[in-house]
Structure 1
Amino acid sequence: MQLNEIKPGLQYKLLSQTGPVHAPVFIMTIEVNGQLFEGSGPTKKKAKLNAAERASYPSLQLPPALTTPP
């Protein structure tokens, strides 16, 4: 499931672009439920995906993993 399916209409913002022209590093932010998440990557798309991934984990509230007894 994608973040935009859970929370449609989220806006990504470019926080910064650093590095040389041939190897840029983009930092994108997204706000979900009043909490700000950052993601970085060599393209804006990768940075957005990383920000969405970070925002998805706490929002999904997944149940604890099942463990098998030793």
Structure 2
Amino acid sequence: MAPRNKKSIKVCRNCHHVVDGESCVTCGSSNLSDDWGGYLYIVDPKNSDIAKKMNIDMPGRYALKVR
């Protein structure tokens, strides 16, 4: 599902995971940004070339670029 309102969605600056709360459930960081671009959903990280390139090992929602 694509984000409804990009401005209200926060992304972890460390792992690029889309965050629902105040900290990242993937890496535990609270270093979040609302300035990001590109949205992707990784379903099978073991067979995804993009996931390998971004060092993603868990399925989920991610941003391609985080500023």
Please report the TM-score for the alignment, with normalisation by the length of structure 1.
Answer: 0.22
Which structure is richer in relative contact order (CA contacts within 8 A, separation 6 or more)?
Answer: 2
Task: Report which of the two structures shows the higher radius of gyration computed on alpha carbons.
Answer: 1
Please identify which structure carries the higher helix content.
1
